[in-house]
A and B are shown apart, each in its own frame.
Chain A
Amino acid sequence: MKNKSLVSISDYTRDEILRILELAAFYEANPKQPELREKVIASLFFEPSTRTRLSFETAINRLGARVIGFTDSSSSSTTKGETLKDTIKMVSNYADLIVMRHPLEGSARYASEQSRVPIINAGDGANQHPTQTLLDLYSIQKTQGTLENLTVFMVGDLKYGRTVHSLLMALSHFNPVFYFVAPKELEMPCEYKAFLRERGIEFYEQKEMNNLEQADILYMTRVQKERFSDPMEYERVKNAYVLRNAMLDKTKENLKVLHPLPRVNEIHTDVDSSEKAYYFQQAENGVYTRMAIISAIMGLK
């Protein structure tokens, strides 16, 4: 992993994923580790993302490194027409590592080919967001004690949601059972179902939020209005994918509800007080996971 970019979750093997989770646990137990005191890390956000940026910058600060960069492209030379290639070539002369968020898909792979230093993809359009996937895995492992043989429900926008696609790929190393809960318009794409069939991984598709008593993990996502070609259809389905506290009554003790955030209304606020709600701790886990990723790439541990 040392000096290797992290662009897509498929860049990491099963063992490398487990290594990151082990390191994340170390940083959670020992969060103040100024091991990167001499280092400069660039944080290039070509589109704003407050949550991801603050999480990364917290991780960088906890490791003692300095941050340079910009928080949206209006304050970068992109507005003067500079190409991504030139920006990356220039910044990779200054920094030891680049964290990049960009609205175009494939930009992170391209940047990793142009850069002299490793790139961490903090989201490239609707394509990949591997650090989110790793923090999801860390949250799952931490709450379940294992990643193996879990039953995972994915609910909401399974068509466009990049977090569910990457999580599905990553969990495929650990013999899961999946339940996909989505309206017809937002079903899990065929290519992912074909991928699961090839690997002999069990999955079920359903239109409604039932069978929840099977679940170890309930992974909720946002159903966005703009994804529907027919606004009537959105009105018809939007309430079918809202989780309420009462629905958790008969679920397993160990069940945890995860959500990549920000949520809109798909998790009712009455769930927040449940022991099974885990989405805010999940966000906190992001800092330790990102410390682990940076540390592994910089070759600290």
Chain B
Amino acid sequence: MSKQKQLQVSAIENGTVIDHIPAESLFDVINILGLDQITNLITFGTNLDSDKLGKKAIIKVEGKFFEDNEINKISLVAPHVKLNIIRDYEVVEKRDVEIPDEVVGIVKCFNPKCITNNEVIKTHFKVMDKTDLALKCHYCEKNTTRDELKMM
């Protein structure tokens, strides 16, 4: 069954498959990883049936192997993502993503009176709580939680 679904998005020879993305977070993941800026071959599918997520999305990037600190950024919007590293059409490694200790850029501080929302400044957060997600702003010291999370 799952084999059939995988094939809804065609296979890649070498690269990374990002699976189990919540369907509504697909474009956030694309933005965060800057996939709209690179020239690699990318295929993706969304609103695929998933037992775990209801509707999921999947992205396959040919010829790209992500660094941990690069890929971990997507854990904020898609914490249960599975990464499959593909070599010669075979899965050679499976990986999870981990919420990082610090988040630089990417996320907007939810506090409208924060200096980062009023002047051009790169945001900077300390991750205080990884399960419920609480990001403490380095500048205004307020917490941004999962419900308040907005990408830059």
A105 and B138 contact, Cβ closer than 8 Å, known pairs A83-B119, A85-B119: no
- Chain A residues in 8 Å Cβ range of B143: 191
Interface membership of B59, Cβ < 8 A: no
- Chain B residues in 8 Å Cβ range of A107: 115, 139
Are B113's CB and A110's CB within 8 A?
A: no
B111, B139, B141: which contacts A110 (Cβ < 8 A)?
A: B139
Interface readout for B121-152 with A: 1 if CB under 8 Å, 0 if not? Answer: 10000000000000001111111000000000
A105 and B113 contact, Cβ closer than 8 Å, known pairs A8-B141, A110-B139, A127-B140: yes
Interface residues on B, range: 10 to 19
- Chain A residues in 8 Å Cβ range of B141: 8, 105-106, 127-128
A109 and B118 contact, Cβ closer than 8 Å, known pairs A125-B113, A191-B143: no
What residues of chain B have their CB less than 8 Å away from a CB belonging to chain A?
109, 111, 113-116, 118-121, 137-143
A105 and B119 contact, Cβ closer than 8 Å, known pairs A125-B113, A126-B113: no
Q: In the complex the two chains form, what is the Cα distance from A92 to B19 in whole Å?
A: 50
A110 and B142 contact, Cβ closer than 8 Å, known pairs A84-B115, A104-B115, A126-B113: no
Interface readout for A178-205 with B: 1 if CB under 8 Å, 0 if not? Answer: 0000000000000100000000000000
Are B121's CB and A104's CB within 8 A?
A: no
A126: nearest residue on chain B (CB-CB)?
Answer: B113
A104 and B118 contact, Cβ closer than 8 Å, known pairs A125-B113, A191-B143: yes
- Chain B residues in 8 Å Cβ range of A8: 141
Q: In the complex the two chains form, what is the Cα distance from A125 to B109 in whole Å?
A: 15
Q: In the complex the two chains form, what is the Cα distance from A55 to B56 in whole Å?
A: 60
Q: What would 7 more interface pairs be, CB under 8 Å, given A83-B120, A104-B118, A106-B141?
A: A104-B115, A105-B111, A105-B142, A106-B114, A106-B115, A106-B137, A110-B139
What residues of chain A have their CB less than 8 Å away from a CB belonging to chain B?
8, 83-85, 102-107, 109-110, 124-128, 191
- Chain B residues in 8 Å Cβ range of A128: 141
A105: nearest residue on chain B (CB-CB)?
Answer: B140
Are B139's CB and A109's CB within 8 A?
A: yes
Are B113's CB and A104's CB within 8 A?
A: yes
- The minimal Cβ–Cβ distance linking B130 to chain A, given in whole angstroms, is 15
Q: In the complex the two chains form, what is the Cα distance from A126 to B32 in whole Å?
A: 31
Q: In the complex the two chains form, what is the Cα distance from A102 to B118 in whole Å?
A: 12
Q: In the complex the two chains form, what is the Cα distance from A127 to B121 in whole Å?
A: 18
Q: In the complex the two chains form, what is the Cα distance from A126 to B111 in whole Å?
A: 11
Q: In the complex the two chains form, what is the Cα distance from A107 to B119 in whole Å?
A: 10
Q: In the complex the two chains form, what is the Cα distance from A129 to B46 in whole Å?
A: 49
A8: nearest residue on chain B (CB-CB)?
Answer: B141
Interface centre among B111, B115, B138 (most CB of A within 10 A): B115
- Chain B residues in 8 Å Cβ range of A125: 113, 140
- Chain B residues in 8 Å Cβ range of A83: 119-120
In the assembled complex, 6 residue pairs joining A and B whose CB atoms fall closer than 8 Å, in A order, are: A85-B119, A102-B115, A104-B113, A106-B109, A110-B115, A125-B113
- Chain A residues in 8 Å Cβ range of B109: 106
B137: nearest residue on chain A (CB-CB)?
Answer: A106
Q: In the complex the two chains form, what is the Cα distance from A128 to B118 in whole Å?
A: 18
Q: In the complex the two chains form, what is the Cα distance from A127 to B137 in whole Å?
A: 11
- Chain A residues in 8 Å Cβ range of B113: 103-105, 125-126
- Chain B residues in 8 Å Cβ range of A102: 115
Q: In the complex the two chains form, what is the Cα distance from A125 to B140 in whole Å?
A: 9
Q: In the complex the two chains form, what is the Cα distance from A126 to B112 in whole Å?
A: 12
A110 and B121 contact, Cβ closer than 8 Å, known pairs A105-B140, A105-B142, A191-B143: yes
- The minimal Cβ–Cβ distance linking A91 to chain B, given in whole angstroms, is 16
- Chain B residues in 8 Å Cβ range of A104: 113-115, 118
A125: nearest residue on chain B (CB-CB)?
Answer: B113
